[in-house]
Amino acid sequence: MAIPTYEIYALKYAGPLTRPASMVNWLQDIDKNVQINYYIFAIRGGNETIVVDCGCAPKLAKERNLTNYINPVDALKRIDIDAAKVKYLAATHIHFDHISGVELFPKATIFLQEKEFNFWMKNPIAKRAPFLHVTDPVANRYLARLIGKKRLRLIRGDKKIFPGIELLLCPGHTVGLQTVAVNTVKGKAIVGSDAAHVFSSYRTDIPSAIITDMIAWMKSYDKIRAKASSIDLIFPGHDLALLDAYPQVAEGVSRLA
């Protein structure tokens, strides 16, 4: 049987927010600011819908002052996806803007890398300031309650989860960040999430300033670039162009491939 092709959507749930340029591109333009958006992603095709990342829960979004925030549930509604019924959720990493909304998907089977999960759940270093600041203890307690449940699928390394959809272990930004390789009509695309905040990182090798392991990160860039059919099919986590440079199919929603 032919491998199905999928469409990839970027759904903005907050932004634009102003950030130091040197946060988005490590040590570059330290006197400048840039703007970023916050997104979740949806992959559709082959009779399946897979949501990538959970966005931020409403309470935390307020505490963190996320400008122009909308509940990810409402963002998904714009393309007729009911979060309460989503069956598959691939969480790329356990930073607040990607995991805090996990409880908005009560039925979903959650794919996470085991390395990522174990770090945040079990390693005391994850409770130290640089890590604590970027995660969400509420979401982490929710995840901890799923240990041993069928809903939680802890992945070791690269794994095909559907025909034409493969999770790729891509550490660097975090201990066990995963990206999602997707078969599309344009070729193999990568939903990269925060393997890069912006498109340019995949050309310059300069990642964001939120670094766990820079050596691993460079190897992850090699892996992602080797996997993608084209560098233009590698999608970052926070670039304004994810929304602005692609056809908009609903308010705040673009089709990337």
Contacts to Zn ion by CB under 5 A: 97, 194, 237
We find the least distance from the C-beta atom of residue 219 to Zn ion, in angstroms, to be 20
Instruction: Give the separation between CA 94 and CA 109, rounded to whole angstroms.
Output: 16
Closer residue to Zn ion, CB minimum distance, 5 or 241: 241
In the complex, minimum distance from the CB of residue 164 to Zn ion, in angstroms, rounded to a whole number: 25
Per the CB < 8 A criterion, the answer to whether 10 and 247 are in contact is no
Closest CA to 237 of 131, 101, 104, 98: 98
DSSP 8-state code for residue 2: P
CB of 96 to Zn ion, least distance (A): 8
Q: Nearer to Zn ion by C-beta: 237 or 252?
A: 237
Map residue 229 onto helix, strand or coil: coil
Query: Smaller CB distance to Zn ion: residue 45 or 191?
Result: 191
For 119, counting Cβ atoms within 10 Å of its Cβ (0-12 exposed, 13-18 middle, 19+ buried), the class is buried
CA dist 111 and 179 (Å) reads 11
For the bound state, the minimum distance from the C-beta of residue 31 to Zn ion, rounded and expressed in Å, comes to 23
Report in angstroms how near the CB of residue 235 gets to Zn ion at its nearest.
13
Measured CA distances, 176 to 145, 172, 187, 217, 220 (Å): 20, 8, 25, 11, 11
**Are the beta carbons of 191 and 177 closer than 8 angstroms?**
no
Question: Which residue, 164 or 236, is less far from Zn ion as judged by CB?
Answer: 236
User: Which tokens in the block code for residue 105?
Assistant: 């998907």
Q: How far is the CB of 5 from Zn ion (least distance, A)?
A: 27
Nearer to Zn ion, 164 or 237 (CB): 237
Which residue, 97 or 166, has its beta carbon nearer to Zn ion? 97
Is 50 in contact with 4 (CB distance < 8 Å)? Answer: no
